[in-house]
Amino acid sequence: MSTAVEFIHVSKRFEDAASDAVEDVSFSIEEGELVTILGTSGCGKTTLLRMVNSLIRPSAGSIKVFDKDISSTYPVELRRQIGYVIQQIGLFPHMTVRHNIATVPKILGWSKDKIDARVDELLEMVNLAPDEFRDRYPSQLSGGQQQRIGLARALAADPKLMLLDEPFGAIDAINRTVLQDELINIHQKSRKTFLFVTHDILEALKLGTRVMVMDKGSIRQFDTPSEILKNPADDYVKQLMDSFRQGFAFALERGMGPGEQR
């Protein structure tokens, strides 16, 4: 199995900042993994993700995507090869679902027949009936439906690598669970490499084939969910896992799922 993403002693310090947002980080992600990046606000997880597609440039170190140093790749060309999904979705309001999904394939010069077939394939993949949804506008969709279209759009040009930055953060608990399950199915079918940023411990453990726990710009542990739960690497990770267990136990006592806690 080949390496999809590799960070080699990567750091990022923003102008006028007192410390690094990401500090001397090294890791590799194998092709086909679904890696969740877990941490609180300001831990560096989004900065790390955005360095993969050159939306943010590192201050030091090197980053490789499928064994190619991204510093030698034109950023726009790099981003066309990587799917990117964010919480705000960013669908074009004046375009139908069909045309939103077709944005990158059109830029790449795909034929109309190929685009139409891909749009319908992706709508079915995210469980939205093509005949019902392809000609709707974003304003005619629920938040969960919009997020599914955002995911379909990111998958449209069949990228080998997907970056997802808290894509379900603004979705209600029930739809969030449904979208998580669909994402797992999409990943298993496609075997693409997914990097998924979240601050939700349950989401990170549920989705990740491996989980990267970050704090203050550093990686505290990068391992399978079961290993992190059983053998936290340090006190910080242990505290996170203990808080997850306590919250889960409290929810069960009250007869609620963890996503329903008040």
Structure pTM? 0.89
Tens-digit pLDDT profile for residues 10-67: 999 999 899 999 999 999 999 999 999 999 999 999 999 999 999 999 999 999 999 9
Between 101 and 253, the higher pLDDT residue: 101
DSSP secondary structure letters along 132-177: HHTT--GGGS-HHHHHHHHHHHHHTT--SEEEEESTTTTS-HHHHH
Tens-digit pLDDT profile for residues 250-259: 555 655 444 4
Say yes or no to pLDDT of 1 above 70. no
Tens-digit pLDDT profile for residues 77-94: 898 889 999 877 778 999
The residues facing 6 across adjacent strands are 28, 64
Domain map (residue ranges) of the chain: 90-159
- pLDDT at residue 190, as a whole number: 83
